[in-house]
A and B are shown apart, each in its own frame.
Chain A
Amino acid sequence: MMTDLIIIGAGLAGLSAAITAAKQGRVCRLISLQPSERAQSVMAEGGINGALNTMGEDDSPAEHFADTMRGGVFLADPNAVKNLTDHAPDVLRMLWGLGVPFNMRGDTPVLRNFGGQKKKRTAYAKSSTGKILMNALIDEARKYETRGLIRRYAHHEFVALLLSADGAQCLGAKIYDRYTATTAKLYGAVILCSGGMNSLFPGLTTGSAANTGDVTATVFAQGVRLANLEFIQYHPTTVAIPGKRCLLSEAARGEGGRLFTLRNGEKWFFMEEKYPELGNLMPRDVVSREMVLCANAAGCDGKVYLDMTALDETVWQQKLSDLREECMRLLAKDPKTAPIEVSPGIHYFMGGIDVDENHRTSVKNLFAAGECACQYHGANRLGGNSMLGAIFGGQVAAASACAAQLQENIPEQERETRYTSRFCRMADRRITEILDPALGIFRTAEQMQAALAQLNALGDDFSEADRWHLLLAKAFLLCALNRKESRGAHTRRDYPDRDDVSYQKTTVARFDGENIQISLWELPERRAD
């Protein structure tokens, strides 16, 4: 039975999936609360990785693979990553063909250095790469919208999955029109492209307030498996502004910005001293950890500064003009003339909906891609791999969904989810007060256990939807408690070492209707090339 595809979310992953399916002549229904121009993807700054090898450094997809696996501390699915890094140059060429104005030299995109990578392989459009890519994909999707292949459901919200009676199969999705206050049921394979889980940490993330994680919380409550929730990326260079954290792109360091702390009044460029090879461009987990450790070392005052004062005029004009403008406007500081105080802030969720290399979830005919999915990044994501993972993941998920075989006359699960007042952000704030301190850069069992106990005491006055957020918050803590080692973005003071024997595995969280079950699953074995 050939049915429409239902895509939840219209950011990079959702658009990429929709365009891929439409190119195959499949009709997709693209559900999003806001138009694509409002998606968090437009906030991505520094660039997108692909071993184009245009910088005379003898780069290759194999090296991109090696850097991604090492950056993720060997926790990513090697076959999925191989697929990603092999296809990355094609993704960049596709974008270039869509008229994306990457910074160029002649007819070739210039690539910049980015964290955790030894070669220049990050294509960029100044430091507004996400906005510029999205613009091109929105135009491309429009072509298929007018042909009736992409049907936009603007101002629609995801309510719940329609599942088979046994919960093992996805039959479609229930959606809600915010403008008319009506719900509808759509039938077909579903691809979730709903982004990260910022509402568990309101005001504390660099991302969009609209990327709430409501979809992830809902499908988790419905029995869909999640993975690796303990890996939360703290981006090293963020600054608190009213209502959120503002990101200073990794491009600042890629173009020569340096981190220092004052030790006994003297500038200490700790990253350069401790990591002579990559210096300020070590992977984000390493930089953030070192910032906390070094700024609190003897003689230091706890503060870290990003120094861009030595960057030359052409870099400011051609590569970072937008970043400078943002600093002046939001922080009232000119990075050209004085270092800026920065601290790590929550930027990305490596964990999320558990998918295999074909982006299939634990439920048949349900797929996920982009930040909502747990794929490609292991224990720590490299800068420049998120937009790549979203676009490529969207393509793979769409291919899988197009091939899905849907059976007819499957009895539908009777559990009715009503659309009530939905999620209340006040409940989120109560959750955050408990969750955030326990899931910082450094963690201990004691702190996480205490947080879990507090969360367990919460919820009596919560709506059903808010209880799903609470459930998700508990799953974060249980995943983190279960991993008794330090790896990537998960650093335990009580288990400071990496333990490959016991923990080079995926943490899997599943809600059985009563309890959250946590288990460790073996990683897929790498296939021979």
Chain B
Amino acid sequence: MQYVLKIRRRTSSAAKPYWQRFVYETDLAGATVATALSALNDRNLLTDIDGSSCTRIAWDCGCLQKKCGACAMVICGSPALACNVRLAELKAKEITVEPLRKFPVVADLIVDRSILRENLQTIRAWLTADAPASEQKNDVLYEASRCLQCGCCLEICPNFSTEGKFFGMAAMAPTTRLLTALPKAEAKMLREQYRRHVYAGCGKSLACRNVCPAGIDIEKLLVNSNALAIWKKYR
């Protein structure tokens, strides 16, 4: 099969973005956007669809098995992990590949997602006491631990911006783990932070639910953490 990838490129954060088209041919049934990007960069000489030589495409890549979240980008308009999108399943004539738009671009498809870490620091997302797991809590603890911090949920979220007070589901999942694990008396500060940076800003559109590459049950976690952080207070 032959695919055309239309990639939004930029040599640096200061440079002007531009589009470049590449042809990628493969007979691998499971070939993904990540397979295509690796193969293009592995060419001795990288040329675009018109045969002009190009610099190699900058992108982040790690596990290639949707376990690390490195290769998040916007593919045919939707945020996704490049290693989790099969070329054959895309119906588009041209496959557009862009960096995540909510984060500052470093180069090509690489964006600076430092804000995710900074937000979790602001929320004070850590345990303030020993919090051994138990059989009853395990389901939520496990589900909440699976967040990749890839940023796909923030990309699709109508309420999130890097300057805003709402930190999105990428902050909700880790916080849910802590709220669930901690004894109630220990979680007061965390509950406040949760109210401020998650609960207050979430418009419940749940657009994030469909794009999470890890398939995290966001609704279940949200219900759980809202119950722990919000509703019990009013009882």
Where the two chains meet, the residues of A that have a C-beta atom closer than 8 Å to any C-beta of B are 34-35, 37-40, 42-43, 96-107, 125-126, 128, 131-132, 135-136, 139-140, 142-143, 145-146, 152, 154-155, 178-179, 208-210, 241-244, 246, 326, 330, 332, 425-426, 429
The answer for the CA separation of A102 and B138 in the assembled complex, in Å, is: 8
* Bound-complex Cα distance A210 to B60 (A): 9
Contacts A105-B135, A208-B62; A426 near B177 (Cβ below 8 A)? no
Q: Which of B32, B137, B138, B178 contacts A242 (CB 8 A)?
A: B32
Kindly state whether residue B69 has any CB partner on chain A within 8 Å.
yes
Contact A139 B68 (CB under 8 A): no
Give Cα distance in the complex from A125 to B144, angstroms.
13
Closest to A133 in B: B145
Task: Indicate if the CB atoms of A135 and B174 lie closer than 8 Å.
Answer: yes
**Complex interface residues of chain B between 110 and 147 (CB less than 8 A to chain A):** 112-114, 116-117, 120-121, 124-127, 130-135, 137-138, 141-142, 145-147
Note all chain B residues with C-beta closer than 8 A to A242: 28, 30-32, 35
In the complex, B163 has a CB within 8 A of chain A: no
Q: What residues of A have a CB within 8 angstroms of the CB of B135 in the complex?
A: 104-107
B138 touches A101 (CB 8 A): yes
Supposing A128-B146, A143-B126 touch, asked if A98 and B131 sit within 8 A by C-beta, the answer is: yes
| A145 CA / B120 CA spacing, docked (Å) | 11
> Which of A136, A142, A155 meets B121, CB within 8 Å?
A142
Docked-complex contact B133 and A246, CB < 8 angstroms:
no
Chain A residue, CB-CB nearest to B43: A426
A102 touches B68 (CB 8 A): no
For B60, B145, B178, which residue has the most chain A Cβ atoms within 10 angstroms? B145
Interface flag for B161 (CB, 8 Å): no
Among B34-48, those with CB < 8 Å from A are: 34-35, 38, 41-42, 44
B202 at the interface (CB under 8 A from A): no
Asked if A145 meets B177 with Cβ closer than 8 Å, knowing A241-B30, A242-B35, the reply is no
Query: Is B74 an interface position by the 8 A CB rule?
Result: no
CB pair A146–B121 under 8 Å, yes or no, is yes
Q: Does B52 lie at the interface of the complex (its beta carbon under 8 Å from any beta carbon of A)?
A: no
Checking B34, B69, B113, B131 against A99 with a beta-carbon cut-off of 8 angstroms, the contacting residue is B131
Partner of A145, one of B114, B121, B137: B121
A80 to B227, CA, bound (A): 47
The answer on a CB contact under 8 Å between A38 and B131 is no
- Residues of B near any A CB (own CB < 8 A): 28, 30-32, 34-35, 38, 41-42, 44, 60-65, 67-70, 83, 106, 112-114, 116-117, 120-121, 124-127, 130-135, 137-138, 141-142, 145-149, 174, 177-178, 181
Residues of A with C-beta under 8 A to B41: 425
Residues on the A chain within 8 Å of B127, using CB: 98-99, 139-140, 143
Measured in the bound complex, the distance between the Cα atoms of B128 and A139 in whole Å is: 11
- In Å, the complex CA distance between A234 and B153 comes to 37
Report which of B42, B69, B83, B121 forms a contact with A37, defined as CB distance below 8 A.
B69
Q: Which residues of chain A come closer than 8 Å to B67, judged between CB atoms?
A: 42-43, 131
- CB pair B63 A42 closer than 8 Å: yes
Residues of B within 8 A of A103 (CB): 138
Picked from A131, A146, A209, the residue with its CB within 8 Å of the CB of B62 is A209
Of A40, A136, A241, A243, most buried by chain B (CB within 10 Å of CB) is A243
- Known A40-B63, A106-B135, A146-B124; judge A152-B142 contact (CB<8 A): no
CA distance A326 to B67 in the complex (A): 10
Q: Which residues in A have their C-beta under 8 angstroms from that of B131?
A: 97-99
Interface of B is mostly: loop
Does A101 contact B137, Cβ atoms closer than 8 Å?
yes
CA distance A102 to B132 in the complex (A): 10
Q: Known contacts A106-B134, A425-B42; can you find 4 more A-B pairs with CB under 8 A?
A: A101-B138, A131-B145, A143-B127, A242-B32
Complex contacts, A154 vs chain B, CB 8 Å: 114, 117
In the complex, the answer to whether A34 meets B62 with C-beta atoms within 8 Å is yes
* Residues B62 and A426 in contact, CB atoms below 8 Å apart: no
Give the interface centre of B68, B114, B130, B135 by most chain A CB atoms within 10 Å.
Answer: B68
| Cβ 8 A contact of A107, one of B32, B112, B130, B134 | B134
Do A208 and B44 have beta carbons less than 8 Å apart? Answer: no
Q: How far is the CA of A425 from the CA of B46 in the complex (A)?
A: 14
Closest residue of chain B to A322 (Cβ to Cβ) is B146
CB neighbours of A38 from chain B (8 A): 60, 62-63, 68-70
**Contact of A35 (CB < 8 Å), options: B35, B117, B130:** B117
State the CA gap A140–B112 with chains docked (Å). Answer: 23
- Given A104-B133, A106-B135, A242-B35, verify A142-B146 contact (CB < 8 Å): no
Q: A96-B133, A99-B133, A139-B178 are in contact. Are A244 and B42 (CB under 8 A)?
A: no
7 pairs, CB–CB < 8 Å, chain A vs chain B: A38-B62, A42-B67, A101-B137, A142-B117, A155-B106, A241-B65, A426-B44
The answer to whether B133 touches A135 (Cβ under 8 A) is no
Shortest beta-carbon contacts, A-B, top 7: A99-B181, A101-B141, A143-B126, A135-B145, A242-B35, A101-B138, A38-B68
Residue of B114, B125, B133 with highest tally of chain A CB at under 10 A:
B133
Q: Is the CB of A99 within 8 A of B38?
A: no
Q: What's the minimum C-beta distance from A198 to chain B, rounded to whole angstroms?
A: 11
The chain A residue sitting closest to B34, CB to CB, is A243
A96-B132, A146-B121 known; A429-B70 Cβ under 8 A = no
Contact A140-B138, Cβ < 8 Å, known A131-B67, A425-B42 = no
Q: Which of B31, B120, B146, B181 is in CB contact (< 8 Å) with A131? A: B146
Known interface pairs A135-B177, A142-B126. Does A243 touch B133 (Cβ–Cβ under 8 Å)? no
